């Protein structure tokens, strides 16, 4: 009797699947990689942060391996797909890698704008394109593109980031229409207010305070976004494609006005 035949074995939601996750060395991508492996997937973590990525893969154990991948480079994608295929047929791709720059439109140089576009937008395009042939050959799969609530709305200082995330939102729908015939599902996830290294040296408590106007009155942990990505990667989402799945604590629903009825009590002062 194998371990998977044991009466104590709980079938994972991704048993038998091979997943490639970009930007997996830390933050949200790391949370996705750890959750996927815990749910039975063989996971290939990809990033440009090689030392961090190798360490995460080693910590996950036998279900994980790491490959270097600059998502803006076609040759890197070919190598990453080949490395993934050594593990098994590609069935899940999570286009998670992204960078963020805060600059006003007037102060954004073309070089700065294109840096964000190349990683976030072009990286997602190259990832989807690279996955078509291996997923089609293996009978289908799931592509999950990480967009943002800033791909639906925006904020000042985010001209490059919002442009890239809005493009991901639209590309996802085009891809869903083209790839459904190959049994490849394509969906976008739109997080908001997540506590990751992308926020810099801010503490979770400070980030929560900055999100106190939201319905849930706090920021999210990466694992909460990973749970949505897991659902879309799994067979539970077999009739979901072309969709946009918001995980934002109620951000897009609106802001709590503390001066109007229905607002929660103000926190007690220390």
Angle at which helices 50-60 and 27-38 cross, to 10°: 20
Distance CA 97, CA 180 (A): 24
Phi, psi of 219 (to 5 degrees): -85, 170
Phi, psi of 145 (to 5 degrees): -100, 125
Please check whether residue 193 is in contact with residue 255, taking contact to mean a CB–CB distance below 8 angstroms.
no
Structure tokens at 130: 């690279």
Please check whether residue 254 is in contact with residue 192, taking contact to mean a CB–CB distance below 8 angstroms.
no
Catalytic annotation present for 113:
no
Spell out the residues 6+ positions from residue 13 whose beta carbon is closer than 8 angstroms to its own. Answer: 39, 40, 230, 234, 235, 236
Distance CA 186, CA 219 (A): 27
Q: Which candidate in 66, 113, 161, 239 is catalytic?
A: 161
Residue 224 CB coordination number (10 Å): 16
Distance of CA 247 to the CA centre of its chain: 11
Spell out the residues 6+ positions from residue 30 whose beta carbon is closer than 8 angstroms to its own. Answer: 24, 45, 56, 222
Residues labelled catalytic: 161
């Amino acid at each position: 009797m194998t371990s998977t035949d044991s009466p104590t074995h709980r079938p994972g939601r991704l048993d038998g699947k091979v997943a490639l996750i970009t930007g997996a060395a830390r933050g949200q991508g790391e949370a996705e990689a750890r959750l996927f492996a815990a749910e039975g997937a063989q996971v290939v973590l990809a990033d440009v942060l090689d030392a961090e990525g190798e360490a995460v893969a080693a910590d996950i154990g036998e279900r994980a391996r790491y490959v270097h991948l600059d998502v803006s480079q076609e040759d890197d994608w070919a190598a990453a797909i080949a490395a993934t295929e050594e593990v098994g047929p590609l069935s899940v791709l999570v286009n998670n890698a992204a960078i963020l720059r805060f600059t006003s439109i007037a102060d954004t140089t073309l070089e700065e704008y294109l840096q964000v576009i190349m990683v976030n937008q072009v990286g997602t395009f190259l990832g989807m394109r690279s996955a078509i042939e291996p997923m089609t050959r293996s009978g289908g799969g799931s592509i999950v593109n990480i967009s943002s609530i800033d791909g639906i709305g925006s904020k000042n200082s985010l001209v490059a980031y919002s442009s890239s995330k809005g493009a991901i939102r639209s590309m996802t729908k085009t891809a869903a229409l083209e790839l459904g015939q190959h049994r490849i599902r394509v969906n976008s996830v739109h997080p908001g207010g997540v506590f990751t290294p992308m926020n810099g040296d801010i503490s979770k408590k400070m980030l929560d305070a900055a999100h106190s106007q939201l319905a849930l009155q706090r920021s999210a942990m990466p694992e909460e976004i990973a749970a949505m990505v897991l659902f879309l990667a799994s067979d539970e989402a077999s009739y979901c494609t072309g969709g946009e799945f918001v995980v934002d604590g109620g951000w897009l629903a609106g802001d709590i006005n503390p001066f109007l009825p229905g607002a929660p009590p103000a926190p007690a002062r220390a």
